[in-house]
Chains A and B, each alone.
Chain A
Amino acid sequence: MFRPSLQARHALARLTLPAMFVVAFGLMLVGKVDTVVVERARTAIHDASAPVYLALAEPLGSINKTIAEISGLWGMREENTRLREENEQLRRWQGIALTLDAENRRLKSALRWIPDPEASYVTARVVADAGGVYAKAVLLSVGPKHALRKGQIALDERGLVGRITEVGSRTARVLLITDMNSRVPVILETSRARAIMAGTNGPWPRLLYWTEGSIPKEGERVVTSAEANAFPANLAVGTIRYNAAGIPEIEPDAQLRAIDIVRIFDYGLGGFAPPETPGRPTPGRR
Chain B
Amino acid sequence: MALSDRTPGIRPRQSIGRRLDIAWRHAFPGVTSLVAMMLSLAPFGLWRQSALPPVVALTCVWFWSLFRPEAMAPPVVLALGLLLDLLAFLPLGVGPLTLLTTHGVAQRLRGTLARQGFAVVWPIFIAVACAIAAMNWALVSLLNFRLYPAGPVLFQAGLAAALYPVVAIPLMLAHRSIADPERA
Binding site for B on A (CB under 8 A): 16-17, 19-21, 23-25, 27-32, 38, 41-42, 45, 49, 52-53, 56-57, 60-61, 64, 126-135, 137, 180, 200-202, 257-258
Contacts and interface: CB of A to CB of B under 8 A. Distances in A.
A258 B43 contact: no
Contacts of A21: 97, 100
Given A20-B77, A24-B81, A133-B152, A31 B104 contact: no
Contact of A128 (B42, B51, B136): B42
A17 B152 CA distance: 29
Contacts of B89: 42, 130-132, 134-135, 137
Contact of B50 (A56, A131, A257): A131
B82 interface: yes
Contacts of B152: 133-134, 201
B184 interface: no
The prevalent SS among residues of B at the interface is: helix
Contacts of B88: 132-133
B10 to A, nearest CB: 23
B113 interface: no
Contact of A133 (B42, B50, B74): B50
Interface residues of B, number: 46
A31 B77 contact: no
Given A42-B86, A133-B54, A20 B96 contact: yes
Interface string B111-146: 000000000000000000000000010001001101
Interface string B66-90: 0000000111011001110111111
B74 A45 contact: no
Contact of A129 (B49, B91, B104, B143): B49
Contacts of B143: 28, 31-32
A133 B92 contact: no
A20 B86 CA distance: 18
Nearest to B92: A31
18 contacts: A24-B100, A27-B96, A28-B94, A38-B92, A42-B86, A45-B83, A49-B38, A52-B38, A57-B43, A60-B43, A60-B45, A128-B42, A128-B43, A130-B89, A131-B89, A133-B140, A135-B89, A202-B149
